[in-house]
Structure 1
Amino acid sequence: MATLRETDLYPPVKAWLEALGYVVKGEVGAADVVACHPGEAPVIVELKTGFSLQLLQQAVARQAVTDAVYVAVPRWTGKAGWRNFKGNVGLCRRLGLGVLSIHLEAGAVQVHCDPAPFRPRKSKPRRARLLKEFTARAGDPNAGGMTRETIVTAYRQGAMKCAAYLAGAGPSRGAEVARATGVARATTMMRDNHYGWFERVDRGVYALSESGRAALGA
């Protein structure tokens, strides 16, 4: 199989732009593709055989010339390729860049987004969850950059308080644990037993499991 080159992307991109009424020329100044139409700002397309930091840097640099800047890459293959491509489209939206994918066998161009100023939509539920966790977490138990498996959350801190109480008091009712530890969700935590630290010994009564003792270092 021949090695894919950026020049392989040029014919379908040129044909697509010409079908829209543009006059198209390759390698004008620093731009891979420049398309002009009377009365409109020029369109610039940067060609690459795959997404890269260099591609994005080049495209952003072209925004000093025109707002109408696209990046063009070959069409993805497979589910993993689509996930990566979709993530890169989101990044390009934030940068105000348009994205084209090229189906080389068909010579077809697909537009995934057009160049436009990015207006991020804030998620109130996500912000609320973030601030709830921040407020509920005691101290700063995690170093930034840790892996997800080792992060101490407010939930884990609450479960540790329940486990520590049971280690000293023995089997107890959920309401007793909640009052003693200040963990309002103590009964639910012990019933759900997310970490495997608790065991139900009677209705509403919980004890510390061997896994719980190991977690406490008891």
Structure 2
Amino acid sequence: MDREDQLYPPIKALLERQGYTVKGEVGAADVVGYRDDPSPVIVELKLKFSLTLFHQAIARLAVSDLVYIAVLRPRGRQAQRMLKDNLAMCRRLGIGLITVLPDGRTEVHCDPGPYAPRKSAKKQARLLREFQRLQGDPNAGGATRHGIVTAYRQDALRCAAHLAETGAEKGAVVAKATGVPQATRIMASNHYGWFERVETGIYGLTESGRAGLVHWAHSWEPVASDTAAKVEPDQA
């Protein structure tokens, strides 16, 4: 399918199976289905997701509570993520989502209706823990994940800076000197390639670690041991 009007027959067939009489291009709406219900079903068609499509669907909510958007099923590497993100958007807006496969089959992913997502206490706690552990304000809001300074990276930098001064040392010694209680785990995990195990429990700094200290020189500062907390590696 490479034209928007090719979405119409499968959407019409889907609604007719539900007992609706269906007509296309009624007023400003792409598709309107009506039966004995108080509100008609309105479907806006587009080959792919777009902000314009959501704007159109929102405008149709002034006419009916039963508004859907219908798109050609996304394909490619990011298809599942794209579908998931736009499905969440539809639920937030209270509109339905239908996808059409190239062979004309349809799939209803959600129906119109109010949506009140449950808050995740776990995710909120993780966010606030990272906020509290992050020293200073090293990131500009809106920056991409590439190059983001996290509390985990700051702790790794403290460990690297200590090893740069002293040479290879035991993890427990590094933890005490830097105020990073999980120093051994950070160096053993070697998330950034900055550390190497010299002997059992003893770690040294790699050339990548020395380069990291230069690159991130203004992104961290030493902290007292009583301010350190449990760490989690970032996804940068």
In structure 1, the partner of 2:168 is 171
TM-score, normalised with respect to structure 2 = 0.80
Aligned residue in 2 for 1:51 = 49
Structure number with greater Rg is 1
For residue 197 of structure 1, report the CA deviation from its aligned partner: 2.4
The runs of at least 4 aligned residues of structure 1 exceeding 3 Å deviation read: 75-83, 103-106
What is the CA–CA distance in structure 1 between the aligned matches of 2:168 and 2:79, rounded to whole Å? 52
- 27-36 or 196-205, larger mean C-alpha shift: 196-205
What secondary structure is seen at the aligned counterpart in 1 of 2:68?
strand
Q: Deviations over 1:149-203 (max 9, x none)?
A: 3111111111111122222233322222212211111122222222232333333
Q: Conserved in 2, the CA contact under 8 Å of 1:44 and 1:70?
A: yes
Instruction: Rate the CA distance shift 1:42–1:134 in 2: closer, same or farther, 3 A.
Output: same
Distance 1:21 1:209, change over 3 A: closer
> Once the 2 structures are TM-superposed, how far is the Cα of residue 115 of structure 1 from its aligned partner?
0.6
Return the alpha-carbon distance in structure 2 between the equivalents of residues 214 and 74 of structure 1: 48
Q: Which moved more, 1:53-62 or 1:109-118?
A: 109-118
Per-residue deviation at 1:82?
Answer: 4.3
Residue 134 of structure 1, CA deviation: 1.2
Q: Secondary structure at the residue paired with 1:149?
A: coil
SS at match of 1:150: coil
- Aligned partner (choices 191, 210, 218) of residue 207 of structure 2: 210
The match for 1:180 among 170, 177, 194 is: 177
Aligned to 2:14, the other structure's residue is in SS state helix
SS at match of 1:45: strand
Q: Which runs of 5+ in 1 are unaligned?
A: none
1:144 maps to which residue?
A: 141
**Counterpart of 1:65?**
63
Question: Tell me, which stretches of 5 or more residues in structure 2 are unaligned?
Answer: 218-236
In 1, Cα distance between the equivalents of 2:183 and 2:50? Answer: 48
Superposition RMSD on alpha carbons, in Å? 2.3
- What is the identity, as a one-letter code, of the residue corresponding to 1:162? C
**TM-score normalized with structure 1 length:** 0.86
Q: 1:59 and 1:200, CA in 2 relative to 1: closer, same or farther beyond 3 A?
A: same
Q: State the number of aligned residues.
A: 215
Given that 1:33 and 1:45 are in contact with CA atoms closer than 8 Å, whether structure 2 keeps it comes out as: yes
Identity of aligned residues (%): 58
Secondary structure of residue in 1 paired with 2:146: helix
Partner of 2:94: 96
Q: Which amino acid aligns with 1:30?
A: A
